[in-house]
Structures are given as structure tokens and as C-alpha cells.
Amino acid sequence: MGAKRAEKIKDRAVGASVITTFIDQSRGLGAIIKISCETDFVSRNETFQQLATRVCEVAAGISSKQLEKVNVEQVLESELPEEGLKVKELIQQNIGKLGENIVLKDAAGINLGIEGEESHKKAIAGYVHGASVPGGTSGKIASLLVLNVDSESKAATNNPEFTKFSKRLAQQVVGYKPLFIQEKEFQEAQSKVVTSSSGECSQIFSNPLDKQTVLLNQEYMFGGEGISTVEDALSLSGKAQNISLAIDSVAWFDSES
């Protein structure tokens, strides 16, 4: 029934989206997806958001050991052992229930596959803005952030101060939407050239470096004594916790773009 309904309305526009995150710190899994339906009313529906969470869990499970985009078709074709369905079939079921077209638009994730000894070397953090319920994992804008942690203590990433700081970094990503982590990444992109049909070369970026597109250069939105930039915050937080911290990778999605 859901499949028939899905086929009938598959060409209907999907103008309302939610961004959903999933993190399982114990297994080193994390994902972020953008999933769309037709109306804001359905996007706030509990059934729709439960679907988004389930799809996000699958995306995390099939991700690589680096935080990067996950092929949407691969997610849709993935099996759900508990439900005895593929993801695309679960979506079809929900189309039947909710009466609106539903489309998985984008996905990114990381599956560290960590075991015991290495479990404290990396940490995954996330932040959701505009959640329909307090503390919810689906909202209008969200981010996922991976930290490299250099520490001899396995308890370092379980420290409440570490958890608070890593979540603030993820919130920084949502607030400022960086395109690069380090300045050298921007400079490398800026120096790339493209060849036009006439054989002439021109720089992709002609504007001066905009520090607000580089995460480490951004003004740290939570401030603090001796803290001006995100890089300052990383350094001082690491010293306070007797660890060395570095941002490995970030991903963010916006429901409006």
C-alpha cells in the first residue's frame, strides 16, 4: 500500500526538510542527514522524526572511518534486520501513513569501528538548532564534528567538561557555517586555477581570505578569558583538561539550502 502511494506521489515537490543527527559514542558511530517531506506540519510529526532517526542510524552504520558524504542510494538500499525491510521500503511505509512524498536528500557520517584501546583517541559531537522538542535530534540546522584527542587517559572523552566543550564546538559550526577548518585549506583552494575554453587561467577565488569561512579563525562565540578565536579555545581547553585537541572534520546541513 505504501509502495503504491509512493509511486503515485513521487513527483510531488518536497518543500519542508529536517536535519537529523545520530551519535553512538561507544561504537564510534555518527551521522547527519537531510530528509524532506511536503509540509512543515508533517516534518514536525513524531512518526516522521522517528523515521529520520532510523535512517540516520543506518547512514552511520555504513559510513567510512572518515567523516564524509554517504551515497544516498546506498542508504536507501540498506537492509533493516529488525524491520525486515530496506530503508527505501520503510520510507514507502511512512509515505502511506503520512500521505506525503518523502525524499532522503543528503547524508554524511563516520564509522570509526573503534575497539577498546583506541576508543579515547577520537570523539564525535553534534548540535541541533531549531528542534521541535527540547533536546531533540531533528531540527532546522545541525552539525557533526570529529575531534582528535591526544591523551593517555581513556576517561578523557567521558569528562563532563570535554563533553560540554565539544558540543559548543559543534554549536559554533551551526552558528558560523564554516567552509574550511584551517586557513591553509582555504589558501590551497584559493590558489587553484581553472582553464577556460579559450585556454586562459583564472583564480577560483578572487576575494581576500574571509576568516569567517575558516573555523579555527572564527571568533569563538562563547568567549572566555584569553580566548578570541576557536583556535584559542581549543588550545586553552586542552591545557585545562591536560589533553591535546584538534578538529579532524566537520559536516553541517541546513534545511533551507
Q: Give the model's pLDDT for residue 157.
A: 81
Per-residue pLDDT of 203-219, as tens digits, reads 445 455 566 789 999 99
Q: Which domains does the chain have, with CATH numbers?
A: 1-178+214-254 (3.30.479.20)
What cell was used for 126? 553534534
pLDDT above 70: residue 114: no
Question: 225-254 as b/e, with b when 16 or more CB fall inside 10 Å?
Answer: eebebbbebbebbbeebebebebbbbbbbe
What is the bridge-based pairing of β-strands 193-195 and 29-37? unpaired
Average pLDDT, the chain: 87
Q: Read off the pLDDT of each residue in 98-121 and give the average, rounded to a whole number.
A: 83
Q: Give the model's pLDDT for residue 83.
A: 85
Per-residue pLDDT of 145-178, as tens digits, reads 999 998 776 677 888 999 999 999 999 999 999 9
Q: Which residues contact 158 (CB under 8 A, 6 or more apart)?
A: none
What is the model's pTM? 0.88
Q: Give the model's pLDDT for residue 135.
A: 82
What cell was used for 228? 578570541
Per-residue pLDDT of 41-77, as tens digits, reads 999 999 999 999 999 999 999 999 999 999 999 999 9
> Using 50, 70 and 90 to split pLDDT, how confident is the model at 23?
very high
Q: Give the model's pLDDT for residue 208.
A: 55
Q: Give the model's pLDDT for residue 224.
A: 87
Q: Give the model's pLDDT for residue 144.
A: 97
| In contact, 137 and 21? CB cutoff 8 Å | yes
What is the bridge-based pairing of β-strands 68-69 and 122-129? unpaired
Q: Give the model's pLDDT for residue 119.
A: 56
Q: Read off the pLDDT of each residue in 119-126 and give the average, rounded to a whole number.
A: 84
